[in-house]
Amino acid sequence: MGVRKIDVSMCTGCAICVEYCPMDVLKMDGERQKAFIKYLRDCQSCFLCERVCPENAITCIPVYERRIPLPW
């Protein structure tokens, strides 16, 4: 699963999460100026979006069955 939800009531539309996501999972809804999860299947559960969101609007959950390649 990885990224689970974006709380739109907390999202200010800063787009930081969209910029940081390495898999291009998140997009901005131009009309509402809120981030949303567009390509959930591509999420690699890296938790980066959750960490960088200044409003703590993003919730991720770990995916234990998926291996995450480590750089060492």
The residues of the shown chain that bind ligand SF4, judged by CB under 6 A, are 2-3, 6, 11-17, 21-23, 25-26, 35, 43-49, 53, 55, 57-58, 60
Residue 72 has a CB neighbour count (10 Å cut-off) of 2
Specify the 3-state DSSP secondary structure of 19: helix
In the bound state with ligand SF4, the residue whose beta carbon lies nearer, of 53 and 72, is 53
Choice between 22 and 66, CB closer to ligand SF4: 22
| Minimum CB distance to ligand SF4, residue 66 (Å) | 11
Rg (CA), the chain: 12
Q: Give, rounded to a whole angstrom, the gap between the first and last alpha carbons of the chain.
A: 24
